[in-house]
Amino acid sequence: MHIYQIESNFGLNNLKRSERDEKELGPQEVRLKMDSISLNFRDLLMVKGLYNPRQPLPLIPCSDAAGKIIEIGSEVNDWKVGDAVMPSFFANYEDGLATKQKLSQTLGGPLDGTLRESMVLPERGLIRQPKGWTHAESSTIPCAMLTAWSALHSGDKLETVLIQGTGGVSIAALQLAKSLGAKVIATSSSDEKLERLKELGADEVINYKTQTNWGKQVKSLTNGVGVDVVVEVGGAGTLEQSLRAVCVGGCIAMIGVLSGVKSEVNLTSILMRHIRVQGIIVGHKKGMLDLVSHLETTDIRPIISDRFSFDDAVGAFHHMEAAKHFGKIVVNM
Ligand SMILES: NC(=O)c1ccc[n+]([C@@H]2O[C@H](COP(=O)([O-])OP(=O)(O)OC[C@H]3O[C@@H](n4cnc5c(N)ncnc54)[C@H](OP(=O)(O)O)[C@@H]3O)[C@@H](O)[C@H]2O)c1
- 120 Cα to the center of ligand 1, angstroms: 30
Q: Which CATH number fits domain 2-143+300-332: 3.90.180.10, 3.40.50.720, 3.40.190.10, 3.40.50.300?
A: 3.90.180.10
At residue 291, the pLDDT reads 98
Q: How many residues does the chain have?
A: 333
Give me the pLDDT at residue 129, please.
98
pLDDT(30) > 90: yes
Q: Is the pLDDT of residue 323 over 90?
A: no
DSSP state at residue 189: S
The pLDDT tens digits for 214-266 are 999 999 999 999 999 999 999 999 999 999 999 999 999 999 999 999 988 88
H or E, element range at 146: helix 146-152
Taking the CA of residue 150 as reference, the ligand 1 atom at the shortest distance is 3
Output the residue whose Cα is nearest ligand 1's atom 13. 41
Q: Which of 39, 40, 44, 176 to mutate to test the pocket of ligand 1 (most atoms within 8 A of CB)?
A: 40
Q: pTM here? A: 0.96
What span, in angstroms and rounded, lies between the C-alpha atoms of 254 and 274? 16
Residues 312, 54, 287, 274, CA torsion sign: negative
Residue 41 CA to ligand 1 centre (angstroms): 7
Residue-range domain boundaries for the chain: 2-143+300-332, 155-279
Angle at the Cα of 37 (from 115 to 314), degrees rounded to 5? Answer: 55
Distance between CA 237 and CA 215 in Å, rounded? 12
- Going from the Cα of 233 to the center of ligand 1, the distance in angstroms, rounded, reads 5
Choose the residue to mutate in 41, 171, 317 for probing ligand 1, maximizing ligand atoms within 8 Å of C-beta: 41
The CATH label, of 3.40.1550.10, 3.90.1150.10, 3.40.50.720, 3.40.50.11260, for the domain at 155-279 is 3.40.50.720
Confidence of residue 43 (pLDDT cuts 50, 70, 90): very high
3-class DSSP state of 273? coil
Give the pLDDT of residue 285: 97
Beta-strand pair 183-188/160-164: parallel
Among 164, 176, 174, which Cα is nearest to 218's? Answer: 164
- Residues whose CB falls within 8 Å of the CB of residue 107, separated by 6 or more in sequence, listed in order: 62, 63, 87, 89, 91, 113, 114
**Pocket of ligand 1, candidates 146, 150, 192, 233: which has the most ligand atoms within 8 Å of its Cβ, to mutate?**
233
pLDDT higher than 90, residue 283: yes
83: pLDDT strictly greater than 90:
yes
Percent of the chain past pLDDT 90, that is, above it, reads 96
pLDDT average, residue stretch 183-211:
97
**In the predicted model, is pLDDT for residue 127 greater than 90?**
yes
